[in-house]
A and B are shown apart, each in its own frame.
Chain A
Amino acid sequence: DAGVIQSPRHEVTEMGQEVTLRCKPISGHNSLFWYRQTMMRGLELLIYFNNNVPIDDSGMPEDRFSAKMPNASFSTLKIQPSEPRDSAVYFCASSLGMGGNQPQHFGDGTRLSIL
């Protein structure tokens, strides 16, 4: 079974550039999550969707960050303009259903470096 697929795996770009991270959730899962992992803050939830609708975006750090889910099989996280402090590993996860007892399944992440 295909898991959560993220692309690219690595992204290196210069400050000020637009960055777009992509995620394909597990087929049939109706909840999708974007996380950021840093040494200082660990795994922090940025935003999550249920049935393609954003439910909670309180973790999005600034207006420079935006996320969309145009359909059940695709989501993007965009940073514009990017800054060096955005350097981190970004994970996408999906789960079946809305309950807190539904384990989330993670992709392998995108390692983002902003120079």
Chain B
Amino acid sequence: DQQVKQNSPSLSVQEGRISILNCDYTNSMFDYFLWYKKYPAEGPTFLISISSIKDKNEDGRFTVFLNKSAKHLSLHIVPSQPGDSAVYFCAASLYNFNKFYFGSGTKLNVKP
């Protein structure tokens, strides 16, 4: 049973617009959340993270929002660029444990 779900397998956005990628989780004990980006033939690379004590974390064009009551997090990319086209994975973990639970990924296509 997947504890972290990304229900949209793909998303297409115009360059310059906002991309919003969503992620839901079932385990209320998760206290740390991360987003990874993956290009073809490469490994996932860490993008941004958020602790459960926060509801927002921003890094340049990337912002992650956490809604603990809804067990939902989202990644906003503004403005979107063609180089952002990749597969995005969300992951969740328990603070005292290394084990990450990954979603199945959302493929983002940013059109020029």
Chains A and B bind each other = yes
Chief secondary structure at chain B's binding surface: loop
Chief secondary structure at chain A's binding surface: strand
A104/B102 in contact, CB under 8 A? no
B100/A101 in contact, CB under 8 A? no
Number of A-B pairs, beta carbon distance below 8 Å: 68
CA gap between A45 and B100 in the complex, in Å: 8
**Interface residues on chain A, size class:** 20 to 34
Decide if A56 is an interface residue (CB 8 Å cutoff).
Answer: yes
Decide if B32 is an interface residue (CB 8 Å cutoff).
Answer: yes
Q: How far is the CB of B31 from chain A (nearest CB, A)?
A: 7
A-B contact pairs, 19 of them (CB 8 A): A4-B43, A33-B98, A42-B105, A43-B89, A45-B99, A48-B99, A100-B32, A100-B94, A100-B96, A100-B97, A100-B98, A100-B99, A100-B100, A101-B51, A101-B95, A103-B49, A104-B100, A106-B45, A109-B42
